[in-house]
Amino acid sequence: MKTLNIILSVAFLLAASSKSNAQQNKKIAGFQIEDIRDDAKEKKKQLNFFIISKRKKGKLDLSTRFNIFRTKLKGLFRPSKFVSIIAKNGEQMSTEVMYSLNKYNARIGTIWFDSHGMYKKGYSLFFIGSNEYSYLTLKDSCINKPFKELIPFVDEETMVVIGSCYGGATYTRSSIDYKDTTRMNGDSLMIALGELLNKPTVYACESWVMTKPGLFLKKAAVGGYPSRKLFLDYCYEPVWENVGRWNKYNAYTNIFESSNTVSMDMYGKIVVRDQSYIEEKIEGMILKRT
């Protein structure tokens, strides 16, 4: 009888201990699940943007009109993933970008600044409406305010594209038709923009940016060249020598390097081609001949 009581006591203690451990494990598991859910809440989804400068009144700009049409159409069917914004200045751009980000509780995935470049100025730049941005103007606290407002929505996964011709040019512009010979400083522009924002990766082109049909189909739709009249202009020699070449600056790692031609997928997220624009063209020519 004494032995039976001992056995029953031990069994009871084991059962109580097992129940206690199970409840403790359940609580720990519960905390782990809650922690995972909290992490998921903090990790906001990405929203991609295409920023187009509002055209000047009375000025016909077919390429800008085409980009407005196709990006607005794209955004109409994917409003929670892609937004097209026509901005008259940087302030309007930041206001509308932040409105969309807050609306969808998102952060910036890819933001593409679609703009014309101005080779005659002798330095890399891009426009947002009436505002010009270069590595010099981005140092001005009044001018760079629209970008500082976007910092809370940018992280190391954000990709910024300077979509202007010569936006990432690192060569020297010739002085034959101009009064001086100057370095374009596209790398300085990329670095200034990356450092101003919250450590994104910045892409820009050494040469012309031609947003042909297929921009959202992962094709090399931004490589290319302008009309044939520039074949005879010696000042554009360095631009021709760098056709289709892009640069990449990772502000998080502080690494500046070359990149293949970029494009976008159907949701407006940047896509880097497996080959450079020139390599693809040469391969295409070889395939046609064979």
Q: Where are the domains of the chain?
A: 45-289
Residue 212 pLDDT grade (very low, low, confident, very high; cuts 50, 70, 90): confident
Count CA atoms closer than 13 A to 123's CA, side-chain side.
12
Residue 123 pLDDT grade (very low, low, confident, very high; cuts 50, 70, 90): very high
Question: What pLDDT was estimated at residue 40?
Answer: 42
Query: By percentage, how much of the chain surpasses pLDDT 90?
Result: 50
**Nearest C-alpha neighbor of 208 from the set 246, 175, 181:** 246
Residues 108-125 have a mean pLDDT of 94
- Rounded to the nearest angstrom, the gap between the alpha carbon of residue 27 and the centroid of all alpha carbons in its chain is 42
Residue 147 near residue 196 (C-beta atoms within 8 A):
yes
Which of 73-82, 117-126, 163-172 shows the lowest per-residue confidence on average (mean pLDDT)? Answer: 73-82
Residues 87-101 have a mean pLDDT of 97
Question: What pLDDT was estimated at residue 223?
Answer: 79
Residues 74-94 have a mean pLDDT of 90
**Nearest C-alpha neighbor of 162 from the set 140, 194, 195:** 194
pTM: 0.80
Asked whether residue 12 carries a pLDDT value surpassing 50, the answer given is no
**Alpha-carbon distances, residue 70 vs 46, 62, 75, 266 (angstroms):** 21, 12, 9, 12
Question: What pLDDT was estimated at residue 228?
Answer: 65
Mean pLDDT (the chain) is 82
Q: How many CB atoms lie within 10 A of CB 251?
A: 24
- Rounded to the nearest angstrom, the gap between the alpha carbon of residue 98 and the centroid of all alpha carbons in its chain is 16
Residues 146-164 have a mean pLDDT of 96
Give me 122's structure tokens.
Answer: 């002798």
Task: Compare 81 and 288 and report the one with higher pLDDT.
Answer: 81
Residue 150 pLDDT grade (very low, low, confident, very high; cuts 50, 70, 90): very high
Query: By percentage, how much of the chain surpasses pLDDT 70?
Result: 79
Which of 4-18, 154-168, 185-199 shows the lowest per-residue confidence on average (mean pLDDT)? Answer: 4-18
Strand 126-128, strand 45-53: pairing: unpaired
Question: What pLDDT was estimated at residue 220?
Answer: 75
Which of 13-17, 96-100, 186-190 shows the lowest per-residue confidence on average (mean pLDDT)? Answer: 13-17
Helix (H, G, I), strand (E, B) or coil at 237: helix
**Nearest C-alpha neighbor of 70 from the set 289, 247, 266:** 266
Asked whether residue 289 carries a pLDDT value surpassing 90, the answer given is no
For the stretch 22-70, pLDDT in tens is: 444 444 344 343 443 344 445 789 999 999 988 766 566 667 777 777 7
Asked whether residue 231 carries a pLDDT value surpassing 90, the answer given is no
Q: How far apart are CA 149 and CA 119, in angstroms?
A: 29
Residues 225-230 have a mean pLDDT of 70
Question: What pLDDT was estimated at residue 235?
Answer: 85
Residues 115-137 have a mean pLDDT of 94
Residues 169-184 have a mean pLDDT of 83
Q: How far apart are CA 290 and CA 275, in angstroms?
A: 20
- Rounded to the nearest angstrom, the gap between the alpha carbon of residue 58 and the centroid of all alpha carbons in its chain is 31
Residue 288 pLDDT grade (very low, low, confident, very high; cuts 50, 70, 90): confident
Which residues, in sequence order, are bridge partners of residue 173?
A: 182
- SS3 helix, strand, coil % of the chain, rounded to 5? 40, 20, 40
